[in-house]
Structure 1
Amino acid sequence: MALIAKSLTVWLVILFCAVANGALRESVLIPHLGKAPGLLLSGVLLSALILVITFLALPWLGAHRPAQLMGFGAFWVALTLAFELSFGRFQGKTWATILEAYTFKDGNIWPVVLLVTAVAPYAAARLRGLQS
Structure 2
Amino acid sequence: MSLLVPSLRPSVFLYPLGVWVAMAVLAVANGAFREVVVIPRIGEYAGHVLSTLLLVVAILLVSGAYFANTPIEYTRAELLLVGVGWTVLTVGFEFLVGYVEGATVSETVAQYDVLAGQVWILVPLTLLVAPLLFGWVLAR
Relative to the length of structure 1, the TM-score reads 0.89
- Counterpart contact for 1:7–1:61, Cα < 8 Å: no
Identity of paired residues, percent? 32
Aligned-pair CA distance for 1:71: 1.1
Do structure 1's residue 115 and structure 2's residue 119 form an aligned pair? no
> Helix, strand or coil for the counterpart of 1:110?
coil
Return the match for 2:113 from 82, 100, 103.
103
1:90 maps to a residue whose letter is V
Matches of 1:88 and 1:31, distance apart in 2? 22
| Pair 1:29–1:107, CA change in 2 (3 A) | farther
- Counterpart contact for 2:27–2:55, Cα < 8 Å: yes
Question: How many pairs are equivalent?
Answer: 130
- Structure 2 gaps of 5+ residues are 1-9
Structure having the higher helix fraction is: 1
Return the match for 1:15 from 11, 15, 24.
24
Aligned-pair CA distance for 1:91: 1.7
Matches of 1:92 and 1:63, distance apart in 2? 42
1:76 maps to a residue whose letter is W
Relative to the length of structure 2, the TM-score reads 0.84
Matches of 2:71 and 2:105, distance apart in 1? 35
Moved over 6 A (4+): none
Matches of 1:67 and 1:88, distance apart in 2? 31
- Structure 1 gaps of 5+ residues are none
Partner residue, 1:77: 87
